[in-house]
C-alpha cells in the first residue's frame, strides 16, 4: 500500500475536476480525498497499490474533458488508511 500527496495546477477548478477525480478513484479502487485550494489548485491524498496509483496519476495528468493540467507534482506520504474516497470543500 502506498500514499501519495498530489497537487494539480492549471485550469482545474470549475471543470468538475473533484467530481471526476472521485469517480476515477472509486473505479480504480483507491481511497482518500480531493479538495480545491484557495490558490486555484486541486489537492489529492490517495492510497492504493502501485499499479492503481500509476493508473490514477496518468489520469490526473489529463484530468476531465475541460481541464488543462499545466503541472502535477506528487510525493509519498504516511499511510492513513482512508475508508473511502471523498470530496472536501
Instruction: Note the pLDDT of residue 61.
Output: 97
Instruction: Note the pLDDT of residue 89.
Output: 80
Task: Return phi, psi of residue 7, to 5°.
Answer: -120, 125
Q: Which run of H or E residues covers position 54?
A: helix 50-60
Task: Please tell me the distance from the alpha carbon of residue 18 to that of residue 35, in angstroms, as a whole number.
Answer: 7
pLDDT digits (tens, 9 = 90+) for 55-73: 999 999 999 999 999 999 9
Instruction: Note the pLDDT of residue 73.
Output: 98
pLDDT digits (tens, 9 = 90+) for 4-55: 999 999 999 999 999 999 999 999 999 999 999 999 999 999 999 999 999 9
Give the three-class secondary structure for 77: coil
- The residues carrying an active-site annotation are 18, 36
pTM of the model: 0.96
Number of H helices, E strands in the chain: 2, 5
Instruction: Report domain extents, the chain.
Output: 1-7+15-36+48-70
Instruction: Note the pLDDT of residue 21.
Output: 98
Amino acid at each position: 500500500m502506498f500514499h501519495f500527496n498530489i497537487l494539480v495546477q492549471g485550469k482545474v477548478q470549475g471543470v468538475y475536476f473533484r467530481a471526476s477525480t472521485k469517480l476515477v478513484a472509486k473505479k480504480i479502487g483507491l481511497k482518500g480525498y480531493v479538495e480545491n485550494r484557495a490558490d486555484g489548485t486541486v489537492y489529492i491524498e490517495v492510497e492504493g497499490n502501485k499499479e492503481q496509483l500509476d493508473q490514477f496519476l496518468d489520469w490526473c495528468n489529463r484530468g476531465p474533458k475541460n481541464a488543462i493540467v499545466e503541472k502535477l507534482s506528487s510525493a509519498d506520504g504516511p499511510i492513513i488508511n482512508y475508508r473511502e474516497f471523498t470530496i472536501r470543500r
